[in-house]
């Protein structure tokens, strides 16, 4: 069962702390896909992937390392946060079901609560209360408001003590679909145009379901950017978002000059984009040569004798 | 070293012969990706993939099975051919170099010549004479003209006897890049339009390098088809071919209604298409989540401790 974990920590400035958390996460059967710190946000994102149980154990070790080293009472940054280890989502990869990631969130959450004494809120697909499906609501009031919120009737954590950890706050542990971070640069330096496009595209202001979008002043390019998160790329695809950006920009005589896929992206999102633009309506991922091979090589015992013969229509070859 | 072998046999009508050749090809560390027979062409394409040495041994066994069962003196079909086992190309996958596939072609060719007594012509990237780089020239005159051609000064095979095998003819063994078979349906029943588009697109009549194209009357759809082979998809991409088809069709007020990617396709061809249409000019295949994971899982010893940490700019996550 392959999963990804995109853990967010409230430390983006002390390289030794970041390195210690990454080191704690390392282990057999876990791959550190990405580790990037942001000084302004004072925040650090660690992307782990591999077999579910191994990734869960790795994420727990990283949380423990963060709880031991980060003191939120001295933390200031532009990004909302409730804890030293702030958000720990498990993301299904390949054919892994979401329910498996919910199970991982529950077991890691239980360990964080009982072994580290840090309260845990289950969020996203792992939420046990409807209002906790939305991460923004879980984080409302941030670390500074946490003690008061946890005293409210609805404030009990899913695991751990009913009060914030004095230095590490609380942790939101959850499960969610893979997210695609996708930015489009526009042929304009006018922020108001980018803002109008972002508003037309993002779901919360009447645009596309599952698209978060913000206009960003990217000074280095001299061009405005529409910065998007696609939170369910199977429902709302990269082409769906890009085509709407293009159409709304065209109302101002503006074009998309370039886009950027930020960080790791699920293969299915790219195959769907190729299929869409190529009009290959009946394409199947089973036709991807290396993919079948790699899957097969990975799952095959050393002495195996595979036999996945398929018959398909095909043009002349040779 | 992962390779593909797309072996073509001159038998498309007797299922027992096709089955015997497929059975002969099976073996450890080889995957039969595709096995499809064509009654009209009286021809059968077997797609094998896996580790190079294993695929080469598998291809040799399939050729031996074909030589023992197919009598070309009684074979009639619409597709040009010189042998019972007609064409055996090795195709590099992933990071495998072409030179490795040339080596496989040479060793399999040597075995076919010496152990089966069938003359072998090395073609494509494995050709030892420039004129044999082009498969069409190797096959000129077909089986029926083979004996006369082999008596010419330039007719000596690269391996095996200097005369055709009486029933199995000769075999073209080679190495070539992966080929993408790609068809586009047009919103017209007029064959002349499809033919004009195909002529504009195919390299041999002034179109794109590395694109073979034919107009096909696809009666089942009531729409004409432009049937293409991209013989070097890195140089001439799927979008390059499709955009030219669209533009040339538009001259007649005709659109592309659907395309078809036939059979197996290298992942790089699809990633390049997604990148092109999304305008993600700086996208890298290293960003594909499952790909890195699968590669890693495949290459990793059981006790390994991977450490491919990368730092990248990224948008907000969580």
Tokens of B140: 């000129």
What's the domain range around A153?
2-175
Nearest to B49 among A32, A261, A293 (CB): A293
Question: Higher confidence at residue A277 or residue B33?
Answer: A277
Write down the residue that tokens 């390195």 correspond to.
A19
Question: Higher confidence at residue B240 or residue B179?
Answer: B240
Tokens of A28: 């057999």
* Pairing between β-strand A171-175 and β-strand A120-124 as defined by DSSP bridges: parallel
Per the structure, the count of domains in chain A is 2
The yes-or-no answer on residue A42 being catalytic is no
What residues of B are labeled active site? 79
Same domain, B99 and B202: no
Lowest mean pLDDT: which of A45-54, B191-200, B299-308?
B299-308
Pair B169, B162: CB distance under 8 Å? no
A126: confidence class by pLDDT, cuts 50, 70, 90: very high
B141: confidence class by pLDDT, cuts 50, 70, 90: confident
Query: Is residue A74 scored above 90 in pLDDT?
Result: no
Query: Is residue A296 scored above 50 in pLDDT?
Result: no
Q: Is residue B317 part of a domain?
A: no
pLDDT at residue A78, as a whole number: 67
Q: Is residue B18 part of a domain?
A: yes
Same domain, A127 and A230: no
Question: Higher confidence at residue B175 or residue A141?
Answer: B175
Question: Higher confidence at residue A173 or residue A305?
Answer: A173
Q: Is residue A37 part of a domain?
A: yes
Distance CA B318, CA A171 (A): 12
Same domain, A171 and A205: no
* Pairing between β-strand B211-218 and β-strand B223-230 as defined by DSSP bridges: antiparallel
Q: What share of chain B is helix, strand, coil (3-state, %, to 5)?
A: 40, 25, 35
pLDDT at residue A311, as a whole number: 31
Q: Is residue A285 part of a domain?
A: no
- Burial of A86 per CB tally in 10 Å (0-12, 13-18, 19+): buried
Kindly provide the residue ranges of all beta strands, DSSP E only, lying in chain B, ordered along the sequence: 2-9, 30-38, 43-51, 85-92, 120-124, 171-175, 180-186, 211-218, 223-230, 256-262
Tokens of A110: 């239980």
In chain B, which residue's Cα lies nearest the Cα of A255? B279
Q: What is the pLDDT averaged over residues B112-124?
A: 98
Nearest to A280 among B34, B36, B260 (CB): B260
| CATH number for position B271 | 3.30.70.670
pLDDT at residue B33, as a whole number: 86
pLDDT at residue A29, as a whole number: 85
* Pairing between β-strand A171-175 and β-strand A85-92 as defined by DSSP bridges: parallel
Nearest to B2 among A89, A178, A293 (CB): A293
In chain B, which residue's Cα lies nearest the Cα of A306? B31
CA distance B114 to chain A (A): 23
Instruction: Compute φ and ψ for A230, nearest 5 degrees.
Output: -100, 110
Burial A44-71 (b: 16+ CB within 10 A, else e): bbbbbbbbbebbbbbbbbbbbbbbebbe
What residues of chain A lie within 8 A of the CB of B227, using their CB?
Answer: 315
pLDDT at residue B254, as a whole number: 98
Nearest to A278 among B87, B257, B259 (CB): B259
What residues of chain B lie within 8 A of the CB of A136, using their CB?
Answer: none
| Interface contact A287-B261, CB threshold 8 A | yes
Q: Residue A262 is inside which H or E element, if any?
A: strand A256-262
| B177-217 confidence digits (pLDDT tens) | 988 989 999 999 999 999 999 999 999 999 999 999 999 88
Q: Which of A139, A155, A175 is the last residue of a domain?
A: A175
| Interface contact B279-A267, CB threshold 8 A | no
- Residues linked to residue A45 through DSSP beta bridges, in sequence order: A8, A36
Name residues whose C-beta falls within 8 Å of residue B129's C-beta, 6 or more positions apart in sequence: B154
Same domain, B100 and B234: no
Tokens of A240: 């769906």
Q: Is residue B160 part of a domain?
A: yes
Q: Is residue B74 part of a domain?
A: yes
Task: Please name which of A97, A98, A96, A126 lies closest in space to residue A110, comparing C-alpha atoms.
Answer: A126
Tokens of A100: 């498996």
| A242-289 confidence digits (pLDDT tens) | 999 999 999 999 999 999 998 789 889 999 999 999 999 999 988 888
Same domain, B137 and B258: no
Instruction: Compute φ and ψ for B300, nearest 5 degrees.
Output: -85, 130
Pair A245, A197: CB distance under 8 Å? yes
pLDDT > 70 fraction of chain A, expressed in percent and rounded: 90
Pair B13, B100: CB distance under 8 Å? no
| Interface contact A266-B281, CB threshold 8 A | no
Query: Is residue A113 scored above 50 in pLDDT?
Result: yes
Same domain, A132 and A155: yes
Same domain, A6 and A136: yes
In chain B, which residue's Cα lies nearest the Cα of A36? B311
Lowest mean pLDDT: which of A8-22, A23-37, A213-227?
A213-227
| CATH number for position A86 | 3.30.990.10
Tokens of B244: 């030219």
pLDDT at residue B295, as a whole number: 55
Same domain, A116 and A31: yes
| Interface contact A307-B261, CB threshold 8 A | no
Same domain, B250 and B131: no
Same domain, A42 and A171: yes
Same domain, B109 and B217: no
Same domain, B185 and B165: no
- ipTM (interface pTM): 0.76
In chain B, which residue's Cα lies nearest the Cα of A87? B318
CA distance B184 to chain A (A): 9
Q: Which of A241, A263, A285 is the last residue of a domain?
A: A263
Query: Which residue in the list A41, A42, A75, A79 is annotated as catalytic?
Result: A79
pTM of the model: 0.76
Name residues whose C-beta falls within 8 Å of residue B48's C-beta, 6 or more positions apart in sequence: B4, B5, B7, B25, B30, B31, B32, B33, B55, B58, B59, B62
Q: Which of A220, A238, A263 is the last residue of a domain?
A: A263
Q: Is residue B291 part of a domain?
A: no
């Amino acid at each position: 069962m392959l999963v990804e974990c995109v853990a967010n920590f409230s430390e983006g400035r002390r390289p030794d702390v970041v390195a210690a958390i990454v080191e704690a996460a390392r282990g057999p059967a876990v791959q550190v896909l990405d580790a990037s710190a942001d000084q302004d946000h004072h925040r650090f994102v660690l992307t782990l992937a591999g077999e579910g149980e191994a990734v869960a154990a790795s994420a727990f070790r990283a949380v423990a390392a963060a709880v031991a080293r980060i003191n939120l009472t001295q933390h200031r940054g532009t990004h909302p946060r409730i804890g030293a280890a702030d958000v720990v989502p498990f993301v299904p990869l390949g054919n892994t079901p979401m329910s498996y990631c919910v199970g991982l969130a529950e077991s890691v959450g239980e360990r964080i609560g009982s072994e580290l004494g840090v309260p845990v809120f289950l969020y996203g697909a792992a939420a046990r209360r409807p209002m906790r499906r939305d991460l923004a609501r879980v984080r409302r009031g941030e670390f500074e408001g946490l003690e008061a919120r946890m005293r409210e009737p609805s404030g009990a954590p899913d695991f751990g003590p009913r009060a914030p950890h004095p230095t590490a706050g609380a942790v939101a542990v959850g499960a969610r679909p893979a997210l695609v971070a996708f930015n489009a640069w526009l042929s304009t330096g006018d922020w108001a145009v980018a803002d109008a496009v972002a508003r037309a595209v993002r779901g919360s202001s009447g645009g596309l379901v599952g698209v978060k979008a913000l206009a960003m002043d990217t000074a280095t390019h001299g061009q405005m950017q529409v910065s998007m998160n696609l939170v369910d790329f199977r429902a709302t695809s990269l082409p769906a978002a890009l085509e709407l950006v293009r159409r709304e920009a065209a109302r101002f005589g503006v074009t998309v000059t370039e886009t950027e896929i930020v960080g790791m992206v699920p293969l299915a999102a790219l195959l769907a984009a190729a299929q869409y633009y190529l009009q290959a309506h009946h394409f199947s991922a089973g036709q991807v040569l290396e993919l079948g091979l790699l899957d097969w090589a990975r799952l095959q015992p050393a002495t195996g004798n595979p036999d996945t013969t398929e018959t398909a229509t095909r043009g002349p070859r040779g």
